[in-house]
């Protein structure tokens, strides 16, 4: 989470005396006071560089500031950290076990949204989180331009609700993403940056039916700066934000299902707690992983080692929340796994059926819409001919059934339908 010091609140008993110091002695500018009637307080902001001081004067004996001054005398009252999305910040802190005063944000000064964290969690300092609505509107406008379709998209399939969420973007080498396809062809579909990388989304899928499931969970936030530079990680808007936007908290997830355990799919399975220890990111969930994939991921070799980071999944076994499945089974009503192989020996896709309709989350079988044609197979794949065969089989079936296909890595298209005209396969966005 990115947080910037917005201001420091100081409870004042005698405003004239306080002004004699801050205004007259220090020579600072004092802004026009702002009355916060609901709190019985008058706030005088004092700009000091990037942040401000806030002199807080009670306007009634019932004011929390009056009570504070009476009990402890004047002095430091709170610090305020500005965050991009206060709801996402609340969800994240809750997930990390921090005690909050406000679990739902309330309105603060100048139309901002605020929430207080309990001093028990902050080592004795009252911390206010603030989302200034102007900032967030601007940043939302920016992120729509910059991260097209990074927002939540909802679909209904019979009795199930399918919600495509997003954990931000990474950049992988364009050559590795398209295998034997020449750059002259792939760069028309996916422009490369100066380091030959192309931009890819990470879009887990939430399935809500009898239970709430998430398939894959993006990269998460455990990686260091060097990693984030190599893979061009952009996570200013990430799974915390998009889950919150979908009205979900991490504790609402009952089942986490893995397509496979590469870091761009399983990184968000675990997180580092405030005590520095790794733990499951979804506190109530059972994590379902294919046994063969688990074996491969826990015994990596030279060719796949860079993709398998043990911190992403070993803590799940330690926490006793891991369920290994051996076959193509139904994981919850309407949701089945199907092994595709190819990308990894035990890579699986997820087939969703309800009310006579079909959808599929194909993960790295067809990571983007550009990978629709059979020979457009990733260089990353361990068994490319198996990918080709599995993709051909799936594409025919999907066209026959009108399957809604979810693309986990496409930077712009969350879901679409496979079409083939004159032997040329393409995707029609949903
Ligand atoms: Zn992968
Ligand atoms: Zn991937």
Q: How far is the CA of 265 from the centre of ligand 2 (A)?
A: 6
Chain center to CA of 21? 45
Contact 203/166 with Cβ under 8 angstroms? yes
Give the pLDDT score at 345.
98
Q: How far is the CA of 278 from the centre of ligand 2 (A)?
A: 22
Q: How far is the CA of 387 from the centre of ligand 1 (A)?
A: 12
- In the chain, the N- to C-terminal Cα span, in Å, equals 32
Q: How far is the CA of 102 from the centre of ligand 2 (A)?
A: 37
Q: How far is the CA of 364 from the centre of ligand 1 (A)?
A: 6
The pLDDT tens digits for 402-425 are 999 999 999 999 999 999 999 999
Give the pLDDT score at 109.
66
Q: Round the average pLDDT of the chain to a whole number and report it.
A: 91
Q: How far is the CA of 93 from the centre of ligand 2 (A)?
A: 28
The bound ligand whose nearest atom lies closest to the alpha carbon of 382 is 1
> Distance between CA atoms of 10 and 74, rounded to whole angstroms?
7
Q: How far is the CA of 84 from the centre of ligand 1 (A)?
A: 30
Q: How far is the CA of 343 from the centre of ligand 1 (A)?
A: 7
The pLDDT tens digits for 34-90 are 877 777 888 888 999 888 999 999 988 888 899 889 998 999 999 999 998 888 888
> Distance between CA atoms of 82 and 62, rounded to whole angstroms?
27
Q: How far is the CA of 422 from the centre of ligand 2 (A)?
A: 30
Q: How far is the CA of 284 from the centre of ligand 1 (A)?
A: 26
The pLDDT tens digits for 294-353 are 999 999 999 999 999 999 999 999 999 999 999 999 999 999 999 999 999 999 999 999
Q: How far is the CA of 218 from the centre of ligand 2 (A)?
A: 9
User: Does pTM top 0.75 for this prediction?
Assistant: no
Could you tell me the two tokens for 276? Answer: 């520095």
More confident residue, 114 or 111: 114
Q: How far is the CA of 236 from the centre of ligand 2 (A)?
A: 20
The bound ligand whose nearest atom lies closest to the alpha carbon of 260 is 1
The pLDDT tens digits for 83-93 are 988 888 888 88
Q: How far is the CA of 273 from the centre of ligand 1 (A)?
A: 26
Decide if pLDDT at 97 tops 90: no
Give the pLDDT score at 34.
81
Q: How far is the CA of 3 from the centre of ligand 2 (A)?
A: 30
Decide if pLDDT at 272 tops 70: yes
The bound ligand whose nearest atom lies closest to the alpha carbon of 204 is 2
Contact 199/400 with Cβ under 8 angstroms? no
Query: Would strands 113-117 and 106-107 be described as parallel, antiparallel, or unpaired?
Result: antiparallel
Give the pLDDT score at 31.
84
Listed as own residue / partner, the contacts of 350-357 with beta carbons closer than 8 Å and 24 or more positions apart are: 350/205, 350/215, 350/257, 350/259, 352/157, 352/160, 352/162, 352/207, 353/157, 353/158, 354/157, 354/158, 354/159, 354/160, 354/209, 355/157, 355/158, 355/159, 356/158, 357/157, 357/158, 357/402, 357/404
Q: How far is the CA of 318 from the centre of ligand 2 (A)?
A: 25
Q: How far is the CA of 56 from the centre of ligand 2 (A)?
A: 51
The bound ligand whose nearest atom lies closest to the alpha carbon of 261 is 1
Give the pLDDT score at 114.
87
């Amino acid at each position: 989470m990115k947080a910037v010091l917005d201001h420091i609140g100081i409870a004042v008993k005698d405003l004239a005396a306080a002004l004699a110091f801050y205004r007259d002695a220090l020579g600072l500018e004092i802004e026009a006071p702002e009355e916060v009637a609901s709190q019985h307080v008058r706030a005088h902001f004092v700009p000091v560089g990037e942040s401000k001081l806030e002199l807080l004067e009670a306007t009634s004996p019932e004011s929390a500031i009056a009570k504070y001054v009476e009990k402890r005398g004047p002095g430091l009252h709170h610090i305020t950290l500005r965050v991009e999305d206060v709801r996402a910040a609340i969800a994240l802190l809750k997930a990390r076990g921090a005690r909050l005063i406000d679990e739902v944000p309330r309105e603060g000064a100048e139309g901002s949204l605020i929430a207080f964290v309990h001093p028990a969690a902050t080592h004795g300092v009252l911390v206010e989180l603030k989302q200034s609505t102007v900032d967030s509107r601007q940043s939302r406008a920016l992120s729509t331009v910059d991260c097209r379709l990074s927002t939540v998209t909802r679909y209904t399939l019979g009795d199930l609700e399918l919600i495509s969420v997003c954990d931000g973007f990474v950049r992988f080498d364009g050559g590795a993403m398209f295998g034997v396809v020449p750059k002259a062809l792939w760069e028309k579909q996916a422009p490369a940056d100066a380091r030959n990388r192309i931009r890819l989304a990470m879009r887990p899928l939430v399935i809500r039916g009898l239970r709430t499931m998430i398939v894959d969970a993006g990269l998460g936030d455990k990686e260091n700066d060097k990693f984030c530079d190599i893979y061009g990680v952009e996570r200013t808007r990430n799974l915390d934000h998009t889950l919150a936007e979908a009205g979900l908290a991490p504790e609402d997830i009952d089942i986490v299902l893995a397509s496979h355990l590469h870091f761009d799919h399983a990184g968000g399975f675990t997180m580092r707690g405030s005590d520095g220890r790794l733990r499951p990111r979804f506190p109530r969930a059972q994590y379902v992983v294919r046994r063969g994939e688990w074996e491969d991921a826990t015994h990596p070799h030279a060719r796949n080692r860079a993709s398998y980071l043990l911190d992403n999944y070993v803590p799940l076994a330690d926490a006793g929340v891991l369920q290994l499945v051996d076959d193509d089974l139904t994981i919850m009503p309407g949701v089945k796994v199907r092994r595709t192989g190819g990308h990894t020996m035990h890579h699986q896709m997820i087939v969703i059926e309800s009310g006579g309709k079909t959808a599929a989350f194909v993960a790295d079988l067809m990571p983007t819409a550009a990978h629709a044609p059979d020979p457009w197979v990733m260089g990353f794949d361990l068994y490319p001919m198996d990918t080709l065969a599995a993709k051909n089989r799936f594409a025919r079936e999907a066209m026959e059934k009108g399957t809604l296909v979810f693309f986990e890595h496409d930077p712009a298209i969350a879901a679409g339908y496979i079409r083939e005209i004159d032997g040329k396969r393409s995707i029609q966005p949903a």
